[in-house]
C-alpha cells in the first residue's frame, strides 16, 4: 500500500509545517509575556519577583532537581495523551489514572516486611528491586484498565471517550481519597497519607537532596520509544493512519476502530506509571490528592507539542519551568496564590490556541501553456 501524501494527515485544510513549528513558539512566548505582565502589575516587588521567576528554578541543585523531576512526570503523562490522540482518541481521565495508579503502586510497596517479599526466597536488594517492578506493574495495570474501559465503551456502544474517561476518573478518585485518609493512613503522622516507604523501596535519586530520580531517564526512553514506534515501524504507521485518516485506513484494508482500545489502554498505562514515579520517586509515600492537576498539565504539554513525541521535550521543559518559576516567585515574594493559579490557567488556555498553525491558502492561477503557438485569452500572443 502506498504511503499517502502530507494532505492525508491533515484533518482540516490550510495546515502548514511552518505554522506547526511557529505555533508552539508563539504559544510559549505569549505565556511568558503574560506571566511577566501579571507579575509587574500584581507584585509589590516586581524586580525581585521576576528574578525569582526566571532564575529561581535553576538557582541550586535542589531547585534544578525538583524542576527536572516535575518535567519527567510531565513527559510520561503527556506521552500517554499524545499516543491516545494519534490513535484517534482523547483521554481526559489522566488525573484519576495517575492517582489510582500511584495508589496501586503504594499498596504493593507497603506490603512485606524488612525488604523481603513474603513467600519468596528473595531477600535484600533483589527483593526490593522485584517489589519496585511489581509496584510499577500494578500502576500500569490500574491505569491501563481505566483507559481500556473507555476504549471498549467507545467501540462497542459508541460512547464518547471524552465523557467516559473523565467520569470514570471522577468516580474512582473519591475511592482513592477514602483509602488514603482512612484504612491506609499512617496514624503516627499528621498528613493524610500512607506510611513512608522503606529506603530500599524508593527509586534511585540522581541529584540529592532534590526529588529527581531515575524516572527522568525512563521518561526520556519512553518518549524516544514512542517516536520510533509511531514514525519508524509498520504497526506505528497503521496506528497513526487510523487516527489521522480513518477513511484512508479503511481503504487500505484495516479498521481504525480496532486501534481505539489499545490507544486508550496505553495512554492510561502511562498515566498509571506516572503515578508510580510520583509515589516511589518524588514523594516516597502516597498522600491525598498527590497529582495536583498533573493530568491536566500533561494535556497542556501535549497540545503545546502538537501531539508530536519529540516536541514533548521542549514543551515539558518550558512548561515545567513556568510552574516552578511561579512557585519560586510565590515563595520569594508576596505574590498571591490567585495570581499563580491564574498564570497556570492562562498557560493551559494558550496551549489550546493554534497560533500561526492555520494559514489561508490562496487559489492558484492556472498555468499558461508553454506550447508553441498558444495564445492567452483575448487573442494576445
How far, in Å, CA of 68 to CA of 42, rounded? 28
Q: What distances in angstroms separate CA 31 from CA 9, 38, 44, 175, 201, one per listed residue?
A: 28, 11, 21, 36, 39
The pLDDT value given to residue 11: 44
Answer yes or no: pTM beyond 0.85.
no
Instruction: Tell me the β-bridge partners of 113.
Output: 116
**141-191 residue pLDDT tens:** 999 999 999 999 999 999 999 999 999 999 999 999 999 999 999 999 888
The pLDDT value given to residue 240: 92
260-277 helix and 294-304 helix, angle to the nearest 10 degrees:
120
How far, in Å, CA of 283 to CA of 225, rounded? 27
Inform me whether the pLDDT recorded for 122 exceeds 80. Answer: no
Instruction: Tell me the β-bridge partners of 287.
Output: 193
Q: Are 132 and 105 in contact (CB under 8 A)?
A: no
Inform me whether the pLDDT recorded for 20 exceeds 60. Answer: no
**227-257 residue pLDDT tens:** 999 999 999 999 999 999 999 899 888 899 9
Instruction: Tell me the β-bridge partners of 205.
Output: 213
Inform me whether the pLDDT recorded for 9 exceeds 70. Answer: no
312-332 helix and 17-42 helix, angle to the nearest 10 degrees:
0
Give the distance from CA 237 to its chain's centroid. Answer: 22
The pLDDT value given to residue 8: 42
Kindly state the cell numbers that stand for 75: 513527559
Residue 121 binned pLDDT confidence (cut-offs 50, 70, 90): very low
Instruction: Tell me the β-bridge partners of 116.
Output: 113
CATH architecture of 8-351: Orthogonal Bundle (1.10)
Residue scoring higher pLDDT (114 or 368): 368
Inform me whether the pLDDT recorded for 321 exceeds 80. Answer: yes
How far, in Å, CA of 249 to CA of 240, rounded? 10
How far, in Å, CA of 343 to CA of 300, rounded? 13
The pLDDT value given to residue 356: 42
**42-91 residue pLDDT tens:** 777 888 888 888 888 888 888 899 999 999 999 999 999 999 999 999 99
How far, in Å, CA of 126 to CA of 110, rounded? 16
The pLDDT value given to residue 380: 45
Kindly state the cell numbers that stand for 217: 531517564
Task: Report the b/e string of 190-200 with b at 16+ CB within 10 A.
Answer: eeebbbbbbee
**Over the chain, what HEC string results?**
CCCCCHHHHCCCCCECHHHHHHHHHHHHHHHHHHHHHHHHHHCCCHHHHHHHHHHHHHCCHHHHHHHHHHHHHHHHHHHHHHHHHHCCCCCCCHHHHHHHHHHHHHHHHCCCECCECCCCCCCHHHHHHHHHHHHHHHHHHHHHHHHHHHHHHHHHHCCCHHHHHHHHHHHHHHHHHHHHHCCCCCCCCCCCECCCCCHHHCCCECCCCCCCECHHHHHHHHHHHHHHHHHHCHHHHHHHHHHHCHHHHHHHCCCHHHHHHHHHHHHHHHHHHHHHHHHHHHHCCCECCCCCCHHHHHHHHHHHCCCCHHHHHHHHHHHHHHHHHHHHHHHHCCCCHHHHHHHHHHHHHHHCCCCCCECCCCCCCCCCCCCCCCCCCCCCC
Share of the chain above pLDDT 90, in %: 52
The pLDDT value given to residue 319: 85
Amino acid at each position: 500500500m502506498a504511503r499517502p501524501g502530507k494532505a492525508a494527515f491533515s484533518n482540516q485544510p490550510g495546515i502548514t509545517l511552518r505554522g506547526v513549528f511557529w505555533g508552539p513558539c508563539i504559544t510559549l512566548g505569549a505565556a511568558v509575556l503574560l506571566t511577566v505582565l501579571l507579575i509587574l502589575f500584581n507584585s509589590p516587588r516586581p524586580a525581585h519577583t521576576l528574578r525569582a521567576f526566571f532564575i529561581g528554578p535553576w538557582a541550586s541543585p535542589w531547585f534544578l532537581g525538583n524542576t527536572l523531576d516535575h518535567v519527567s512526570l510531565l513527559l510520561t503523562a503527556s506521552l500517554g495523551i499524545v499516543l491516545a490522540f494519534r490513535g484517534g482518541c482523547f483521554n481526559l481521565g489522566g488525573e484519576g489514572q495517575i492517582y489510582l495508579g500511584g495508589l496501586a503502586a503504594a499498596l504493593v510497596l507497603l506490603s512485606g516486611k524488612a525488604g523481603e517479599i513474603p513467600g519468596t526466597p528473595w531477600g535484600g536488594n533483589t527483593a526490593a528491586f522485584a517489589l519496585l517492578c511489581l509496584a510499577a506493574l500494578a500502576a500500569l495495570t490500574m491505569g491501563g484498565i481505566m483507559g481500556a474501559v473507555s476504549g471498549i465503551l467507545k467501540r462497542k456502544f459508541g460512547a464518547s471517550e471524552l465523557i467516559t474517561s473523565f467520569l470514570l476518573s471522577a468516580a474512582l478518585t473519591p475511592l482513592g481519597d477514602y483509602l488514603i485518609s482512612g484504612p491506609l493512613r499512617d496514624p503516627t503522622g499528621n498528613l493524610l497519607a500512607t506510611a513512608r516507604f522503606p529506603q530500599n523501596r524508593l527509586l534511585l535519586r540522581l541529584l540529592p537532596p532534590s526529588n529527581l530520580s531515575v524516572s527522568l531517564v525512563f521518561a526520556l526512553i519512553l518518549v524516544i520509544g514512542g517516536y520510533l514506534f509511531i514514525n519508524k515501524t509498520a504497526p506505528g504507521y497503521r496506528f497513526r493512519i487510523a487516527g489521522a485518516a480513518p477513511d484512508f485506513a479503511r481503504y487500505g484494508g484495516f479498521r481504525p476502530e480496532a486501534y481505539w482500545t489499545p490507544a486508550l489502554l496505553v495512554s492510561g498505562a502511562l498515566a498509571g506509571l506516572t503515578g508510580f514515579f510520583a509515589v516511589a520517586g518524588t514523594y516516597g509515600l502516597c498522600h491525598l490528592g498527590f497529582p495536583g492537576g498533573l493530568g491536566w498539565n500533561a494535556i497542556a504539554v501535549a497540545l503545546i507539542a502538537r501531539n508530536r513525541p519529540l516536541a514533548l521535550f521542549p514543551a515539558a521543559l518550558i512548561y515545567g519551568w513556568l510552574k516552578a518559576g511561579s512557585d519560586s516567585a510565590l515563595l520569594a515574594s508576596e505574590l498571591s496564590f490567585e495570581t499563580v493559579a491564574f498564570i497556570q490557567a492562562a498557560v493551559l488556555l494558550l496551549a489550546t490556541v493554534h497560533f500561526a498553525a492555520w494559514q489561508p491558502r490562496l487559489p492558484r492561477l492556472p498555468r499558461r501553456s508553454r506550447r508553441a503557438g498558444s495564445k492567452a485569452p483575448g487573442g494576445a500572443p
